Structure 1
C-alpha cells in the first residue's frame, strides 16, 4: 500500500477533498476509509468534524531502488518536521478551522472566510479608500467570501512656500522658505482577526523645489540689489524644514555724537566721608570733600558734535544718521568762556557747580561763606547763594538756608537748616528740621498729589468728551449754560476721589507756603477755580481744562529730574527732629529718638532708633530698633527694597510696600523683603 493520511472536514466530502489536495492525487488513485461521520450540535456545541483516511494506491512496477532513492532524499534537519505529510495535513486542517469568521490582508489584498454564525468586519481608516464590490465604503462594513475588494491609498502633495521680506529699516532681506512634501500610504499585512482596522502606513517625502533663478527674479522685482548673499540662497535651496535666511544686507549708518562737556576737575564727593575719631565722634573739619578751584583754572572743555556716517539699504537707498546737536552751556557766576567757547575757566575761587539736563549744562563757581561762632539772635538768620560753613552751633529758632552745602561744626538746637545740596552736622540735631535737596518734603508731597490729580483729570476729560459727543448732549442745556453743571454731575457721581485729592493739595500748599515755589500755589488756585467753585468761570471749558492738565504735566516734568545725586545728610544724633533728604541719610553716633526721617537714598543708623517714623527709598540699615515698652517705632521702605536690623525690639513695626509687620518678640540679625507673592520674608 502507498502513503496514507487522516483528513478532517465539516462534511465527508470536505474531508475527502482536503485529503486529495494534500496527497496530490485523484479520487481514483486512493482508497477511502470513513473513520467518523460529522455531527451537528446546537450553536456549534457538541458538533464533530468528519474524519476520513485516504491511502494512495501503489503501482506494481514500483521497485526497491525507488524506495532507496526516497530514503536518500529525506531531510533530517529541523525544518524537515514541516515536511511530514501527516503533520502538514494536521497543520492545514487546524489552519483552515482557525480562519473561520476572520478577515486578513496579504500583499495588499483582502481575504476572508465566513462561518454560518460569524461574519468578519473591516473598518476603513487613515490614508486609504476601500471599495467593496466597486463601491466606495466608509466606516465599518461586513465582509463575505463572495465580495470583491479593492484598496486604493491616498496621496497628499503640499507645494513649497517661500517669500522674501524686507525689514523695517530696509537693512536686511529675509528669505522665508517652508519646503513642501508628498505624503503617501502603504498597506501592511494584517493577521487574521474577526475585525481589522485598515490603516495606511504613512510615508512623507520632503520636496524643496525652490529654484535659484526664482529667488533672483523676486529680488529683482523688489529692487534688492545691495549686499546679496548667494551662499545663503544656495543653502536655502537644500533645507528640509521651515527656516529664514538673510539673503541680502545693507550697511547701518554710524551714528554721530552730540556735543558734550568734559570736566577737568573732580566734583564727585559722594564717596568722601568725614573722619571718625577713636572715641566715635566725627571730625568734619577733616572732611575736605568739597572741591575747590582757583581763579584762572580751566575747569571744563566743550566738545563740538561729531557727524555720523550714512548707511545703505538693500534697495541701494541712503540712510542718513541722526542729526547731532551741540551742547548748550549756560555759565553762571564765577565762570567764563575762552578760546572761542571751547574751554571754561574759573574767574573766582570757590566750589565748581555742574548741572546737566539733556543738552543743557549749567556751570558756575559757588562762593563759600564761613561763619565763625554760633548762629543766634545776635547774628540773625543766614541765607546765602553758595556754601555755608558754621564753626559753632545753630541755636533756638534760627534759620540757615544755602543754595549749596551747609556744614555745622557743633549742634543744631530747635533750628531749621535748608540746603539745596548736602548738610553736615558735627554733633546733634535736637528739636530741629533739617532739609537737603531741591525737593523738600512739601515738594515731594505736592508732586505725589499732582500725579494722582493728573491721572484722574485725564479720565475726567475723556468722560467730558464722551458726553459731548453723545446725541443726548445736543438736546441738553449744557452747551448754553456752560460745562459747570456737567462738571458737578461727574464730580458727584464718578470723580469724588479727584475732589478729595485736590483739597489735600490745596491744604498742603498752604502749609508749605514758605518752602514751595509760587508755581505750586498758583496751580492750587487754578484747581480751586476749576473744580471747587460754585460760580461759572473761565475754567469751566474743555479748552481751559486741557490747559490746566498741561500746566500740571509741565510742573511735574520740571521737578521730575532734579540734579540731587550728591545730596546727603550726616550727623551724630537726632532727637525730636524732622530730617528730609533727597539722597542718603547717615547717623554715625548714638542714633535717633522720636524723630521723623525721610531718605531718598539709603538710611543708615549706626546706633539706636527709638520711636518715630523712618522711610528709606533705597533701603534701611539699622543697628538697633525699638524700645522696651516705649513709643512705637515704624520703619518703611518701598516694595523692592530691604530692611536690615541687627537687633529689633518687641512692638517695632516694619512696612515694605503696603505690607506691614509687627514684631511680637525680640529678634536679632533680621533682613526683611517681599517675595513674589507680596509676603514679608525674613532671613
Structure 2
C-alpha cells in the first residue's frame, strides 16, 4: 500500500505500509532549486493528509514527522508504529516435589563397568503432602495495527489436570492421598497426576510366591525362577538373577544380576496405551452420538406427554440405530483385559464401566445418567491421550549379562557387564553393550554401540538399525553382519574401532573411530 506525491522540482515523498500493517515508513527525496540546492517543502499537514489517504490512523509519531519536514537528503522515516499484541501466559503447574519419576539408566563405559548405584528411584511422597499448585492462565492484550484494526492474540489456555486415586485436589492445589511414588504424565497443557504404591517382594519369585502383578512399581529382592512372571504398570527392579522367566514392565526394567533364557520388556504401557486409544477412537464417537440421540428422543416423548421407560427407549434405540455399539465396546474391553497391569488403572476402569453400562446393564436397564457418566470419563481420558506427549527420558532395560534371551524396550537397552550371547535385543531407540555380543541379533531404531561384536570362532552375529541410524563397534570379528535400512555389510576379517553409517546416496559406509 503506498501513496505518491511528486513536486515540480522532483521532490518525492512516498509512504509504504508494511504487509503486516505494523508500521508506515515515509521515504523522502528532497527537490532542487534553480541553484541546485536541496529543497524540502513538506509540512505536517501534507504528511497527515497522505496518511489519511491510505488509512493510517494509529501510532503516528509527530516527532518523527517533524524531523522529516526538515530533511534535506534521501532518507526513510518510520512515522507510524502499531501497538503489538501482548501474548498471554498459559496456565501451568508449580511442583513442590521432584517429578522426574522412575528409574534412571546406568552409565556405561568401554571397560564394561557400570555403577548400579547410579540407577536411582525418586523417593516416595508422603500422605497429605502437597504435590503441585495450579497457576491460572493470564490472558494477553490485543494489539492495534497502524490502520486502527485490532490485532488478535491467542487465548491463553488453562492447565487441565486429571488425577488418579492417589491424588486429591483442594483449592487449586494437589495432594497425595497416601504415601507412594508420584507419577506425572504431561501432554501439551494437560497433566495426569497419580501416586501409586510400590510393591516390595522380599525373597525369590517362585512357585511358592506365585506370579506377581501390580498396578505400580515392583521391587524384587531375590531371584525370579523358572516359568514365573512379574508384570507391573510401572518400573520393575530385580536385585537377583532371572532364569527362564518373564518380566513385563509398563515403564523401565532393571536386573542387577544375570538373565538366562528369559523374556524382558519395558515400555509395554506405550504399546498397550496406543492400542487402547485406537479402540476408544472407534467406539467413543458412537457413544457420543447415541447419548445425544437418546436425550433428544426422551425429550420429545416428554413433550408429547408419553409415559417414559428410559431403559426400554434406550434399548430399542440401540437395537434399531446403533447395533454395532456393543461389539465396539467389547473390542475395547477385550483390549483392556489383554493389556493387564501394564497400563494405568483408568483404562481398565473405563472398560469395565462401559461394559457394565452397555453390555451387562444394571437391574434398571440402560439409563441416560449412566450413559453420560461413563461418557464423561471416556471423553476426559481420550482428550488427555489425544494431546501431544511431552519429550521425556526414554524408558529402558538394563542388565549386566543375558544368555539365550529376548529383550525388548520401547526406548533403550543397556548391557552393563559381560555382554549378551545368542540373544535377540530390540529397542525403539538405542542399544549399548559395554561387553561382547556373540551370536543373536541386535535391532535398534537409531543407534547401536558395542565393545566386541562376534567372536574369534566366527559365530554369526547381526546388528541392525533403521535408515539414518549409526552403528559403532570397538571391535568386529569375522561373520558379523551390520544392516542399515535394507543395506547390509558383512565383515570377513577383524575390524575396528569403526563407525558404520549410510551416506546421502544410500550406500553403507564405514569410518574409523577414536576412543
Give how far 1:617 is off. 2.9
Give deviations 1:504-540, integer Å, cap 9, x for gaps. Answer: xxxxxx9999459999xxxxxxxxxxxxxxxxxxxxx
| 2:417 aligned with 1:589 | yes
Residue 570 in structure 1 maps to residue 398 in structure 2: yes
Residue of structure 2 in register with 1:5 after alignment? none
1:407 matches 2:237: yes
TM-score (norm 2): 0.65
1:682 equivalent to 2:481? Answer no
Instruction: Tell me the residue number matched to 1:305.
Output: 137
1:261 corresponds to 2:97? no
Take 2:454 and 2:41, find their aligned partners in 1: how far apart are those partners?
Answer: 78
CA distance in 2, matches of 1:594, 1:559: 41
Q: 1:618 to 1:238 in 2, by over 3 A?
A: farther
Asked if residue 172 in structure 1 is aligned to residue 23 in structure 2, the reply is yes
Tell me the distance in 1 between the aligned counterparts of 2:136 and 2:122: 30
Aligned to 1:601: 429
Contact 2:241 2:258 in 1 (8 A): yes
1:246-325 correspondence to structure 2 within 5 Å: 247-268=79-100, 272=104, 287-325=119-157
Which residue of the partner structure matches residue 612 of structure 1? 440
Cα displacement string for residues 237-275 of structure 1 (whole angstroms, at most 9, x for unaligned residues)? 9559xxx87553212111111111111112326894569
Deviating more after overlay: 403-412 vs 294-303: 294-303
Output the CA distance in 2 between the equivalents of 1:664 and 1:511: 47
- Unmatched tracts of structure 1, length 5 or more: 1-157, 180-206, 449-509, 520-553
d(CA) in 2 for partners of 1:511 and 1:611? 35
How far does the alpha carbon of each residue in 1:347-387 deviate from its partner, in whole angstroms, 9 at most, with x for none?
Answer: 21111111111222111111011112111222221110111
- SS of alignment partner, residue 667 of structure 1: coil
1:337: how far off? 2.0
Structure 1 CA distance, aligned partners of 2:46 and 2:54?
A: 12
Q: Distance in 1 between matches of 2:335 and 2:135?
A: 46
Other-structure match for 1:497: none
Counterpart secondary structure, 1:621 = strand
Could you say which residue in structure 2 is the equivalent of 1:396?
226
Distance 2:275 2:438 in 1: 25
Summarize the alignment of residues 58-69 of structure 1 with structure 2, pairs less than 5 Å apart: none
Q: Quote the Cα distance in structure 2 between the aligned partners of 1:664 and 1:584.
A: 29
Please say which structure displays the higher CA radius of gyration.
Answer: 1
Shift of 1:682: 1.4
The offset of 1:291, in angstroms, is 2.5
Residue in structure 1 matched with residue 321 of structure 2 by the alignment: none
Alignment correspondent of 1:632:
460
**Contact 1:421/1:566 (8 A) holds in 2:** no
Map 1:48-197 onto structure 2 (within 5 A): 164-168=16-20, 170-173=21-24
Change in Cα spacing, 1:424 to 1:381, as seen in structure 2 (3 Å) is: same
1:162-199 Cα distance to aligned partner (Å, 9 max, x none): 6634423x3233568999xxxxxxxxxxxxxxxxxxxx
Question: Paired residue for 1:362, among 192, 209, 213?
Answer: 192
Could you tell me how far apart the structure 2 residues matched to 1:588 and 1:351 are? Answer: 26
1:322 Cα offset (Å): 1.9
Q: Does the 8 A contact of 2:186 with 2:192 survive in 1? A: yes
1:666 aligns to 2:494 (yes or no): yes
The alpha carbon displacement at 1:159 in A equals 12
- State whether residues 675 and 681 of structure 1, in contact with CA within 8 Å, keep that contact through their aligned partners in structure 2: no
Q: Does 1:221 align with 2:72?
A: no
Q: Given the superposition, is the C-alpha separation of residues 603 and 280 from structure 1 closer, same or farther in structure 2, using an over 3 Å criterion?
A: closer
Distance across 2 between alignment mates of 1:322 and 1:356: 21
The alignment partner of 1:668 has SS state of coil
Partner secondary structure for residue 497 of structure 2: strand
Give the CA deviation at 1:211: 7.3
- Alpha carbons of 1:558 and 1:254: their partners in 2 closer, same or farther (altered >3 Å)? closer
Q: Does residue 328 of the first structure (1) align with residue 160 of the second (2)?
A: yes
Query: Is residue 402–residue 423 contact of structure 2 (8 Å, CA) maintained in 1?
Result: yes
Q: Are 2:186 and 2:390, in contact at CA under 8 Å, matched by a contact in 1?
A: no
The aligned runs of 1:344-383 (5 Å cut-off) are 344-383=174-213
Q: Are the aligned partners of 1:161 and 1:178 in contact in 2 as well (CA < 8 Å)?
A: yes
Structure 2 counterpart SS, 1:580: strand
Q: Distance in 1 between matches of 2:504 and 2:113?
A: 42
Contact 1:285 1:409 in 2 (8 A): no
CA distance in 2, matches of 1:301, 1:431: 47
RMSD: 4.3
Report the TM-score when normalising by structure 1: 0.50
Helix, strand or coil at the partner of 1:220 = helix
Q: Quick one: structure 1 residues 308 and 513, their matched pair in 2 at CA, closer, same or farther if it must change by over 3 Å?
A: closer
Shift of 1:224: 0.7
Q: How many residues align?
A: 396
Check whether the contact 2:103–2:120 (CA below 8 A) recurs between aligned residues. Answer: no
Distance across 1 between alignment mates of 2:447 and 2:112: 24
CA distance in 1, matches of 2:335, 2:480: 30
